[in-house]
Chains A and B, each alone.
Chain A
Amino acid sequence: MLRRFDGVSVDGIIGASGTELIDIALMCERLGYEPQKTRRFIKSLGFEQVRLLRRPQTVSDLAQAAVPPLLEALKLEPDSLDAFIFVTQSQDYIVPAPTYCLQQPLGLSEEVLMLDLVQGCTGFVYGLFYAATLLCSGVCNKVLVCAGDTSGYDGRQKGQEANDLLFGDGLGAAVLSRRPDAAGLWFSLQSHGALHDVIIEPNGRSKYKRSLDYDQGHIEDTGTFIDGPRLADYVLNSGKADVLRLLEAAGLKSTALSYCIAHQANKTLLKALAGLCALTPEQMPFLAAHTGNTSSASIPLSLSESSQSLPKLKEAPALLCSFGVGMAVASALVDLRRTLILPALYLD
């Protein structure tokens, strides 16, 4: 789907994570890795530390920490929001949905429209897209979007050790509103469900728990399985195609972008994707060396952590490029020149 929305403004963005920093080199040593293997992990993934949320805190706690200062900075009362979109794969409960648990703590009105989405690394861009549809249709005037996940270390399958060394926890929040003079927002979304097994948590839910050989006394938590080669292939083909078609639709050359803020999957992938999209490494920066891959939060959290080192955000449009579990790619061409980007919060 390729769509343009006029008169929609991204008013503010904030990111949040935990205060716990895990040193990857130390973690590798604890896991008994050879120094050379440790060096290889850090060199190719690019993560020197991953930032985690302390237990028992969850992604809902991040939302409760991040949203009030964002609304305050924008001089908005919580009950002035018309819709609340929450995107996560790390919900507190299967039922009820996360928005219901957050409605009262966030002070949202009983008239608020609540929408829960299950998306991974594309979650923030998906959230922006749905917000734009609600705003552009005239249904809503102000929409709050939260996207976050707690994907940090919790034990993995053999051959999947890299997963322990790349995922962090985080959340991003944004407020969008209708504003007639706002520049057009472009979105390109593509879904490839035939590849749903490229990134999969096989024992996570009903498919495992309702299987005939499921033993309640022995629950095997295998974590997330990632098919590395197929993931690389997907991102470099579909990610590149998504970015290029969005630029073409908007009539822009890559040089017209301030930055392409990509999902911070890992350093090697971003470098390769930048090259294939004719973007300089400076235009598609790797910003998560001390945060980790925070799934749906990675784009807003990166913006929130690094906006001071991204001065061109105030000069030209930016492209947000996300890709991952589904498989899915979701990109947005956004004008962040008037967007209030608050520094990231770290929850103790």
Chain B
Amino acid sequence: MRPFAFKRPAGAEAAVKLVAANKDARFIAGGTNLIDLMKEGVDRPNELVDISRVSLNLIRSLGGNGVSIGALAKNTDTANHPLIRQGFPLLTQAILSGASPQIRNMATNGGNLMQRTRCSYFYDLGTPCNKRQPGSGCGAKDGLNRYSAIFGWSDSCVAVHPSDMCVALAALDATVRIRTVAGGERKMNFTAFHRLPGDMPELDNNLSHGEMILSIDIPANRFQANSYYLKIRDRSSYAFALVSVAVGLEIDKGVIKNARIALGGVAHKPWRAEEAERFIEGKQADAAVFQQAAELALRGAKPLSENGYKVKLAQRAIARALRRAANV
């Protein structure tokens, strides 16, 4: 085994100090992704800082139906929490469509945000990957890219973010509350948390090394009656999305007052379709409008050699998810 130190500090403050002091240190909580990465030799930390016992597992109301979900609450507990089931059924649906019950029982919310791409080149030490080894090249761009991005990719990386939960959080205008290395707190819009690969694909997100996610806060909304998460995959369960769509609508007398649309499986980060959102806001909730919105959402797509199907599939998925959310 590659030797590493294992530390279990008393609280968040000590944990942040430990990780910040060592660029090869990693937080570990559920470990459902990090352990895999270590076994494969993709990530090689020399120090693991166990935060699984830090008390950041609360799910609490922020007033209205806003909610704060602790970074260390388990995915399963989050999906099934009454505040989430009642206030954000979209999030429940998204979480439960990911992974398997066993994994969701272990995985934490913060870890879900931090999970890394499942691009097969990233996982295979025998192939080039700029995300794993900057400067080595991108195997997928001109190789096997059926699962790769159609939005926001760069010459150095075409990987997609694998999470389902994050697609819903992007649609729900969540913010991420972070403990900084200096000891303070800062907040980041969820849509600004993950980043596009650009020429630094080794960075998945905009956290600084040592910063720790404390909670994910979701503001009150009125999407409860009209939301839907649609995931399309190669088998019924336990597979990453080819394309997924999170939709939240606020509908008043058949007119869409407020819309959120986010896509998964298409980019290095959960992909908000803001133009399509603006397009349907103020319009009647009907299939024709949704179809137009779906086409609009994919207008800027740039498919690769093997993933052209994602454009049409994503359009259909958006149109269906909107119809389902609106019950039309």
Do the two chains bind? no
Which A residues fall within an 8 A CB radius of B? none
Which B residues fall within an 8 A CB radius of A? none
